[in-house]
Chain A
């Protein structure tokens, strides 16, 4: 156990975590050079395209240090997006140390700060690494000062490297050996293993990445999943090198994979504790939470025939995604679909993209909404995740919206625009602290104002420099109203939104204008209205198309004309017919495209 080092890398999305990970794997000889596909750990194509990590992964590597001993490095990769902060905390719990990778040209950003705090709270040794020192704009001293001021850890011995050129990367490996402690021996050998992540494999069933805290796991052990109380027999165990390598056991201090014929990831939830059925641990490891979806949206197939296929696809994705929830929803306008819950907008976009790409489904996603609380006049409180299901006003005592606390880090020159943005989004300032070259601003904000486009806006008002992390604080009563959208006089339930009374009129106007742009001309005028109850707050119309005719057709090549019309037809097929109006997918998400 003395020779084991378990560590994570904490880094902002583009600060070079993946490049450093690749270098470490290379230096330890984990993969031959020709096997190195760039950034091996971001394995899902969508993750790779977006440059983000969704699922935690790990790699066990032997490293022969300068002291002549060979260490077992277990590197646990963490998701790098604010939507996935719970998974990050689970990954960190499995480690004794973390590398904090900071771009020496850009400085610290908020998500890293939040993750670093989590790491420090969990008792991890944090080793600062300054990356990209090959850039002419790199300022090592300034960034060291910032790390000390903002995060409050000693950065004197920070390792300055360039993962891109390979400069000094070996010093990172030596720092892991010297500064990150080995796992602490426990006084009992009753199995406690933390589930860092679980995913579904078509051949093996659920594969769980675990950290054995105490005891050991061997094939044919009867494992008990502590939150579900279910027992499963272990099929095999092993480590990732990053290839999957079977072993005879996973011992205390080690990180590796376990398969036990578990049918879906809900059978082995992230953060849960595994123990042995015949000799269980007294209690589970701390910190387990059920995943709580924060954002809900309706997913409807454009063609009603695709409903069973959509159900099947969601079920398959759910096997591998403990945060995804869904239940059938029926809408007057849209027919049958599913109300789905997501961790955040990114999570929603990823699911939507996977359904369309991997399952070839043609979908309409309705405007995402947060979960509100309704206090009814009879004194009962119920959650509301679908504006269409809001009770009539006379049954509502108050509507409460979720409030978050957002911690934003920004260079001082952008502080004015960041504050302006927060105020526009109905924020209430909590604190403002000047620290070295950055300012930390803390705001209370309604989650509803944040989930849609707050991150993008924050980036754009700060030229990409500001960053944030947030956590849910409480529910709070607010004057909220439901804004309905009427198309040719008929309310389209799937387009309803819950908005704050103070900006409902403006947003209603923006919404109908945006929809006017997005709905193509049809054979008749299309009236679009926004209404609160019976009161119309905005109206616009899409003028009728005058004609749709090919000017010329003289025998000749019928194939070309056919292809042209087939294309028109395909375009129509991607639209949803509501009443007799064809509405394209984007119009249902017009709310996401407003004031852009």
Chain B
């Protein structure tokens, strides 16, 4: 057995203001961000995780949040330099930073670039000021447009734009207008999510009036067609890319690769091989609250949990990720990342074929059009009968 490729996720847990739909680990930023302490904490955190890398180089790094662009280019540079001093970077490593308009439009993208960032993901969400207001964003359309242009002017062309649809009071025309504006920037990547009400968010407690299921579906179909017509491939449930513009970091998640997760509340997934040659998959996560994280960063207590994934959970976890890819995933990836043979999933695969959710291919697990639409039902087939805790 060989270990899967390795990526690094870095979490920056602060935002200017938390959005009402957001269920990520983000917190309203204090007046003075403790950038220096947090950078030190991240590197100490990484030191503790280093043995999990087992000599593998990093294929990608992703700064997520929160709003990583609240950190100065200098802080980002220190993190990346620190990472590079500890782990080898694979040639052509992708380094993405999530960026929120309203925090960076006057910022120095060239400085981030010099720090090592070579891809930005903009949380645009919409180009309609009224819609942005309804979902509690701090920026307006003009700020978003200015930020994207500025990044491109500074030579950062490898961009993703995040858009959301089925926003409160949004119409089909409104959703398409957002797509057209986004396409005009000619970025290699677009993400297009349906707004969903997640538990423990302001919106869940106090739901805004959302377009009904059928309108949301109409938006999805129309937008999907518009994006495809512009030359993008629809390669994952919510992700679109021009040829070669796919997100290497996200593909690693969907291929059930390994990743270290550092920062407050960050989750990592890694594999180990025991003396008998058997593969074991683990999940390790870090203390969630920024204050607690900073406090414990230099001790073992920063680890919130480090658990083996039960072997009966592996097929589900693999499918949860892999079947999101419209092109599906080679069966060999299943063997390589779970250590399991085809027998472990045979009845479920047969059921999925019978229901027309998987395409009949011997070497690949690929969802059909209906499998993509009813992906939850498809991957639910792989849930173990008695869902034990892991």
As a 0/1 sequence over residues 554 to 585 of chain A, the CB contacts with chain B under 8 angstroms (1 = contact) are 11111101100110110000000000000000
Query: In the complex the two chains form, is A555's CB within 8 Å of B383's CB?
Result: no
Q: A559–B375 Cα gap in the complex (Å)?
A: 17
As a 0/1 sequence over residues 239 to 260 of chain B, the CB contacts with chain A under 8 angstroms (1 = contact) are 0000000000010010000010
Q: A554–B373 Cα gap in the complex (Å)?
A: 18
B376 contacts which of A521, A543, A549 (Cβ < 8 Å)?
A: A549
A contact patch SS? loop
Given the known interface contacts A548-B373, A550-B375, A552-B193, the answer about A569 and B380 at a Cβ–Cβ threshold of 8 Å is yes
Q: A376–B4 Cα gap in the complex (Å)?
A: 76
Query: In the complex the two chains form, is A555's CB within 8 Å of B9's CB?
Result: yes
B185 within 8 A of A: no
B80 within 8 A of A: no
Query: In the complex the two chains form, is B237's CB within 8 Å of A551's CB?
Result: yes
A546 contacts which of B217, B317, B380 (Cβ < 8 Å)?
A: B217
A534 within 8 A of B: no
Query: In the complex the two chains form, is B375's CB within 8 Å of A549's CB?
Result: yes
Residues of A with C-beta under 8 A to B152: none
As a 0/1 sequence over residues 179 to 198 of chain B, the CB contacts with chain A under 8 angstroms (1 = contact) are 00000000000000111100
Query: In the complex the two chains form, is B376's CB within 8 Å of A548's CB?
Result: yes
B380 contacts which of A554, A557, A568 (Cβ < 8 Å)?
A: A568
Query: In the complex the two chains form, is B320's CB within 8 Å of A551's CB?
Result: no
Q: A545–B216 Cα gap in the complex (Å)?
A: 12
Query: In the complex the two chains form, is B283's CB within 8 Å of A558's CB?
Result: yes
Residues of A with C-beta under 8 A to B363: none
List the B residue with the shortest CB-CB distance to A559.
B390
Query: Which residues in window 2-16 of B have CB below 8 A to A?
Result: 9
Residues of B with C-beta under 8 A to A568: 376, 380
B173 within 8 A of A: no
Query: In the complex the two chains form, is A550's CB within 8 Å of B250's CB?
Result: no
What's the least CB distance linking A50 to chain B, in Å? 32
Query: In the complex the two chains form, is B269's CB within 8 Å of A555's CB?
Result: yes
Given the known interface contacts A555-B259, A562-B316, A565-B380, the answer about A549 and B373 at a Cβ–Cβ threshold of 8 Å is yes
Residues of B with C-beta under 8 A to A556: 267
A547 within 8 A of B: yes
Query: In the complex the two chains form, is A555's CB within 8 Å of B380's CB?
Result: no
- Most chain A beta-carbon contacts within 10 A, residue among B220, B269, B373: B373
Query: In the complex the two chains form, is B321's CB within 8 Å of A548's CB?
Result: no
Residues of A with C-beta under 8 A to B261: 555
Residues of B with C-beta under 8 A to A569: 380, 383
A-B pairs with beta carbons under 8 A, tally:
78
A70 within 8 A of B: no
B28 within 8 A of A: no
Q: A234–B231 Cα gap in the complex (Å)?
A: 90
Given the known interface contacts A548-B377, A565-B379, A565-B380, the answer about A557 and B267 at a Cβ–Cβ threshold of 8 Å is yes
Q: A569–B217 Cα gap in the complex (Å)?
A: 23
Residues of A with C-beta under 8 A to B267: 555-557
Residues of B with C-beta under 8 A to A562: 313, 316-317, 320, 383, 387
As a 0/1 sequence over residues 504 to 522 of chain A, the CB contacts with chain B under 8 angstroms (1 = contact) are 0000000000000000010
B285 within 8 A of A: yes
A38 within 8 A of B: no
Residues of B with C-beta under 8 A to A546: 213-214, 216-217, 373
Query: In the complex the two chains form, is B372's CB within 8 Å of A549's CB?
Result: yes
Query: In the complex the two chains form, is B324's CB within 8 Å of A548's CB?
Result: no
Interface size on A, residues (CB 8 A): 24
Given the known interface contacts A558-B283, A561-B320, the answer about A551 and B250 at a Cβ–Cβ threshold of 8 Å is no
List the A residue with the shortest CB-CB distance to B377.
A548
A549 contacts which of B237, B250, B269 (Cβ < 8 Å)?
A: B237
Q: A543–B375 Cα gap in the complex (Å)?
A: 19
As a 0/1 sequence over residues 324 to 344 of chain B, the CB contacts with chain A under 8 angstroms (1 = contact) are 100000000000000000000
- Most chain B beta-carbon contacts within 10 A, residue among A523, A554, A565, A569: A554
Residues of A with C-beta under 8 A to B217: 546-547
Query: In the complex the two chains form, is B238's CB within 8 Å of A552's CB?
Result: yes
List the B residue with the shortest CB-CB distance to A543.
B214
Query: In the complex the two chains form, is B383's CB within 8 Å of A566's CB?
Result: yes
List the A residue with the shortest CB-CB distance to B164.
A551
Residues of B with C-beta under 8 A to A557: 267, 285
Residues of A with C-beta under 8 A to B213: 521, 545-546
What's the least CB distance linking B5 to chain A, in Å? 13
What's the least CB distance linking A562 to chain B, in Å? 7
As a 0/1 sequence over residues 141 to 175 of chain B, the CB contacts with chain A under 8 angstroms (1 = contact) are 00000000000000000000000000000000000
Q: A553–B214 Cα gap in the complex (Å)?
A: 23
Q: A490–B171 Cα gap in the complex (Å)?
A: 39
B299 within 8 A of A: no
B84 within 8 A of A: no
What's the least CB distance linking B197 to chain A, in Å? 11
As a 0/1 sequence over residues 72 to 93 of chain B, the CB contacts with chain A under 8 angstroms (1 = contact) are 0000000000000000000000
Q: A566–B320 Cα gap in the complex (Å)?
A: 13
Query: In the complex the two chains form, is A523's CB within 8 Å of B370's CB?
Result: yes
Query: In the complex the two chains form, is A566's CB within 8 Å of B387's CB?
Result: yes
As a 0/1 sequence over residues 97 to 138 of chain B, the CB contacts with chain A under 8 angstroms (1 = contact) are 000000000000000000000000000000000000000000
List the A residue with the shortest CB-CB distance to B376.
A548
A547 contacts which of B320, B324, B374 (Cβ < 8 Å)?
A: B374
Residues of A with C-beta under 8 A to B380: 565, 568-569
What's the least CB distance linking B9 to chain A, in Å? 7
Residues of A with C-beta under 8 A to B390: 559
Q: Across the A-B interface, give the 8 residue pairs with the lowest CB-CB distance, nearest first.
A: A546-B217, A555-B253, A547-B373, A548-B376, A549-B375, A551-B193, A551-B194, A566-B387
12 contacts across the A-B interface (CB closer than 8 A): A546-B216, A547-B217, A547-B373, A548-B374, A548-B377, A549-B372, A549-B374, A551-B195, A551-B237, A562-B383, A565-B379, A569-B383
Instruction: Name 16 extra pairs, CB < 8 A, besides A545-B374, A547-B217, A548-B377.
Output: A547-B373, A548-B374, A549-B237, A549-B374, A549-B375, A550-B196, A551-B237, A553-B237, A553-B320, A554-B253, A555-B253, A555-B269, A562-B313, A562-B383, A565-B376, A565-B383
